[in-house]
Chains A and B, each alone.
Chain A
Amino acid sequence: MKYKINFNLNNEEIEHYIDPNRTLLNMIREDFDLTGAKEGCGAGECGACTVLLDGKPVNACLVLAIEVEGKDILTVEGLSPGNKLDELQISFIENAALQCGYCTPGMVMTAKALLKENNNPTEEEVKEALSGNLCRCTGYKKIIKAVMDIVEKGKH
Chain B
Amino acid sequence: MEFVGKSVNRVDGIKKVTGSLKYVDDIKMHGMLYAAVKRSIYPHAKIINIDITKAKKLKGVVDIVIGKDFPKRVGLYLEDKTFLAVDKVRYRGEGVAAVVAKTEELAHKAVDLIEVEYEELPAVTSGVEGLKEDAPLVHPDLDKYKWAPIFFPKEGTNISNHYKLRKGNIDKGFENADIVIENDFYIPHVQHVPIENHSAIAKMDAEGFLTVWASCQSPFAVRQALSVAFDIPLNKLRVISPAVGGGFGGKAGTTLEGIVIPLAMRTNGKPVKLTYSREDEFVNSFVRQGLHARIKTGAKKDGKIVAVKNEFIWDGGAYTEYGVNIAKAAGYASTGPYDIENVHSDSICVYTNHPVGGPFRGFGMCEIHFAIEQNMDIVADKLNIDKVKIRKINGLKPGGVTATGEQLDVCGLQECLDEVVKDIEYYKKEESNEPNKVRAKGIAFGFKAPSMPNNVASSAIIKINEDGTLHLLTSAQDIGQGSDTVLTQIASEILSIPPEKITIKTGDTDHTPYEWQTVASRITYCAGNAIKLACEDAKNQLLELAQIKLGIYKRDLELKDGNIVSKIYPDKKVSISELSLGLSMPDGSGIHGPIIGRGSFIPPNIRDADKLTGLGDKPVAFWTFGCQGVEIEVDIETGKIKVLNVASCFDVGKVINPKLIEGQVEGAIVQGLGTALFEELILKDGKVLNPNFVDYKIPTFDDMPKMIIKFVENAEETGPFGARGIGEPSMVPAAPAIANAVYNALGIRINSLPITSEKILKALKK
Contacts and interface: CB of A to CB of B under 8 A. Distances in A.
Interface in A71-85: 75-77, 79-80, 85
Contacts of A39: 25, 197
Contact of A89 (B10, B17, B702, B704): B17
A141 B18 contact: no
A46 B421 CA distance: 36
A20 B666 CA distance: 43
A41 B195 CA distance: 8
Contacts of A105: 17-19
Given A102-B245, A127-B701, A131-B701, A93 B195 contact: no
**Most chain B CB inside 10 Å of its own CB: which residue of A95, A98, A102:** A102
B73 interface: no
A36 B663 CA distance: 23
Interface string B641-671: 0000000000000000001101110111111
Given A101-B245, A144-B701, A42 B278 contact: yes
Nearest to B248: A136
B18 A85 contact: yes
A67 B245 CA distance: 30
Contacts of B704: 127, 139-141, 144
B468 interface: no
A130 B13 CA distance: 20
Contacts of B481: 99
Contacts of B670: 138-140
Contact of A131 (B18, B662, B702): B702
Given A136-B246, A139-B666, A41 B278 contact: yes
A45 interface: yes
A137 B481 CA distance: 8
Interface stretch (B60-68, B388-396, B692-700): B692-700
B364 to A, nearest CB: 20
A132 to B, nearest CB: 8
B669 A139 contact: yes
A98 B196 contact: no
Contacts of B663: 96-97, 99, 137-139, 142
A23 to B, nearest CB: 13
11 contacts: A40-B195, A41-B278, A43-B692, A48-B195, A77-B19, A85-B18, A93-B10, A93-B17, A102-B245, A136-B195, A138-B666
Contact of A127 (B12, B692, B702): B702
A101 B692 contact: no
Contact of B196 (A92, A96, A102, A139): A102
B18 A102 contact: no
Given A42-B278, A139-B704, A35 B26 contact: yes
B98 interface: no
A45 B694 CA distance: 7
A40 B16 contact: no
A100 B28 contact: no
B365 interface: no
Interface residues of B, number: 57
B23 interface: yes
Given A101-B245, A102-B194, A138-B666, A42 B277 contact: yes
A104 B15 CA distance: 10
Nearest to B703: A140
Interface string B180-197: 000000000000111111
A134 B245 CA distance: 13
B235 interface: no
A140 B701 contact: yes
Given A43-B278, A93-B13, A138-B667, A100 B480 contact: yes
B707 interface: yes
A98 B16 contact: yes
Nearest to B669: A139
Interface in B195-252: 195-197, 243-248
Contacts, number: 174
A27 interface: no
A98 B17 contact: yes
Contacts of B23: 35, 38, 102
Interface in B739-762: none
A99 B667 contact: yes
Secondary structure at chain A's binding surface: helix, strand, loop or mixed? Answer: loop
B480 A35 contact: no
Contacts of B245: 38, 100-102
B612 to A, nearest CB: 41
B17 A134 contact: no
A142 B26 CA distance: 26
Nearest to B26: A35
A85 B666 CA distance: 26
A123 B292 CA distance: 41
Contact of A93 (B9, B698, B701): B9
Given A42-B278, A102-B196, A141 B707 contact: yes
A93 B693 CA distance: 28
Interface in B299-349: none
B480 A101 contact: yes
Interface string A10-51: 000000000000000000011001111111111101101000
A144 B694 CA distance: 24
A38 B195 contact: yes
B521 to A, nearest CB: 15
Given A40-B278, A101-B16, A130-B701, A139 B667 contact: yes
B17 A102 contact: no
B707 A134 contact: no
Given A98-B10, A102-B194, 10 more contacts: A45-B692, A46-B195, A76-B17, A92-B17, A93-B17, A104-B17, A127-B704, A136-B246, A136-B671, A140-B700
B572 interface: no
Contacts of A37: 19
Contacts of B18: 36, 76-77, 79-80, 85, 89, 105
A99 B707 CA distance: 18
Contacts of A30: 28
Contacts of B603: none
A77 B21 CA distance: 11
Contacts of B22: 35
A117 interface: no
A24 to B, nearest CB: 15
A141 B699 CA distance: 12
A58 interface: no
B482 interface: yes
